[in-house]
Amino acid sequence: MGVLGASALATGCSSTSSRPTTAGDTSSAAPATSGPAETPAPPPPAPTPTWDGQVKILGDGSTSDTGPQPKQPPKPEKLKPGEKPPQFVVFSWDGALEGEERQFSRFRKLGVENNAQMTFFLTGLYVLPKSKGSLYHPPQHQPGEASIDFATDPHIKDTLEQLRLSWLDGNEIGTHFNGHFCGAKGGGDWSTDEWTSELDQSISFVTNWKTNTGYKDLPSLPFDFTKELVGGRAPCLEGQKNLLVAEKAKGFRYDASSPGEFQVWPNKKDGIWNFPLQMLPYPGKSTQGLSMDFNFLAGQSGDSTKGDPKKYDAWEKETRDSYLAGFERVYNGSRAPLFIGNHFENWNGGIYMQAIEDVMKTVCKRDGVRCVSFRQVADWLDAQDPKVLDKLRQLDPAQPADWSRLTK
């Protein structure tokens, strides 16, 4: 298996005809329509259960302000002279749909059990019913058009439940935008204004899900999404240049759309932290591959999500060992954060899900390791001395560091 970089194939986002379907998506995409979007009148705010502190209902009751997020780490402090940085590991999930395989709830619970807080990049269409698909006006496409399936109504309800519970567990909710368009007329072809439209719509679908679904009896999401949302990952890792301008205007603090960079300490692009997927070593080989499940799938079984079952054990081991090799390289070297991207999928018999579970159980409780969200990494980086961060960026991933010199 060779190096798989920033191509659509390596990021899980090939064309509509060859892209694997998202787990739990059992309905087809809404047909393209013409004419103005539906604008139903918003219902009166629905009652919301009370968590710790005062609850402020927002908008139509889809979201609410319940105060500071629970289970957050202490406010980060600047490294002391001679202090070794924490080893950050970020598990991130594109789409964040609770489908038939129940992978969202599975990994949310695993996170609690293994001291891991994560980032869930929610696709806005996963809280928009197919019957209201024409509300979505994708850039360069017809209203209601999408390259992924809309979620079924039961999956929307299940996803909303997992989003509530996930936030209360201390996890971050980011955005994976909406229609998952790649290639021609996809994110790589979009202007900043078009990315702004896509971003505004992803926020609107989350903050107005009660209006759009009619599920007035369900509890509000316990957070103000307009304040919670500080980062995202573009489908197919395409279009970051223009996307960054749109994100910066919305007050985003980071972007996770950059592909195929080496394991080094992050820097900023256009004033926003750049948190790329990373190139990880394959033990016993001279090649490296991108730190995402689809990259392993592409190298092992090509376009097929159901490869040769006789190879599943070997492929699972290769995936797990690569993640762990990337971890050990920086844990014993530069301490650069490890960024891992995933999808809630049972590709090749679920081997990539099992590999991630094994990695989480192996690394998250080790000394000096913090399995955290992207936002928490940004918090820590913002608290550091910029001169110290500049020194850390000069380290090769496996380079043993003289922390007394680097952090003084």
pLDDT per residue as tens digits for the range 330-343: 999 999 999 999 99
Over the stretch 309-319, which tens digit does the pLDDT of each residue have?
999 999 999 99
Residue 35 lies inside a defined structural domain of this protein? no
Tell me how far apart the alpha carbons of residues 302 and 9 are, in angstroms, rounded to a whole number. 9
pLDDT of res. 121: 98
Residue 265 lies inside a defined structural domain of this protein? yes
Residue 88 lies inside a defined structural domain of this protein? yes
Residue 189 lies inside a defined structural domain of this protein? yes
Over the stretch 109-167, which tens digit does the pLDDT of each residue have?
999 999 999 999 999 999 999 999 999 999 999 999 999 999 999 999 999 999 999 99
Stretch 176-181: mean pLDDT: 98
Burial (CB count within 10 angstroms: exposed 0-12, middle 13-18, buried 19+), residue 64: buried
Q: pLDDT > 70: what percent of the chain?
A: 87
Look at residues 243, 115, 114 and name the one whose alpha carbon lies nearest to residue 176.
Answer: 243
Between the alpha carbon of residue 109 and those of residues 73, 118, 383, the distances in Å are: 18, 11, 30
Residue 16 lies inside a defined structural domain of this protein? no
Q: Taking 90 as the threshold, does the pLDDT of residue 223 lie above it?
A: yes
pLDDT of res. 43: 44
Over the stretch 341-350, which tens digit does the pLDDT of each residue have?
999 999 999 9
pLDDT of res. 254: 98
Q: Taking 80 as the threshold, does the pLDDT of residue 401 lie above it?
A: yes
Stretch 11-16: mean pLDDT: 38
C-beta separation of 233 from 121 below 8 A:
yes
Residue 386 φ then ψ, to 5°: -55, -30
Place of tokens 């376009």: 303
Burial (CB count within 10 angstroms: exposed 0-12, middle 13-18, buried 19+), residue 2: exposed
Residue 196 lies inside a defined structural domain of this protein? yes
pLDDT of res. 85: 97
Q: What interhelical angle do 312-331 and 293-301 show, nearest 10?
A: 140
Stretch 304-313: mean pLDDT: 97
Q: What is the DSSP letter of 75?
A: P
Tell me how far apart the alpha carbons of residues 21 and 24 are, in angstroms, rounded to a whole number. 9
Q: Taking 90 as the threshold, does the pLDDT of residue 1 lie above it?
A: no
Over the stretch 369-384, which tens digit does the pLDDT of each residue have?
999 999 999 999 999 9
Q: Taking 90 as the threshold, does the pLDDT of residue 245 lie above it?
A: yes
Residue 48 lies inside a defined structural domain of this protein? no
Residues in the chain: 408
Residue 29 lies inside a defined structural domain of this protein? no
pLDDT of res. 51: 53
pLDDT of res. 341: 97
Tell me how far apart the alpha carbons of residues 7 and 17 are, in angstroms, rounded to a whole number. 16
Over the stretch 22-80, which tens digit does the pLDDT of each residue have?
333 333 333 333 344 444 444 444 444 545 558 999 999 999 999 999 999 999 999 99
E-assigned strands of 22-126? 56-58, 63-65, 87-95, 119-122
pLDDT of res. 406: 84
Q: Taking 50 as the threshold, does the pLDDT of residue 389 lie above it?
A: yes
Domain count, the chain: 1
Look at residues 68, 169, 156 and name the one whose alpha carbon lies nearest to residue 119.
Answer: 169
Q: Which structural domain, as residue segments, surrounds residue 375?
A: 83-406
CB atoms within 10 A of CB 123: 26
240 vs 18: which has the higher pLDDT? 240
pLDDT of res. 287: 86
CATH code, domain carrying 366: 3.20.20.370
pLDDT of res. 284: 84
Averaged confidence pLDDT in the chain: 89
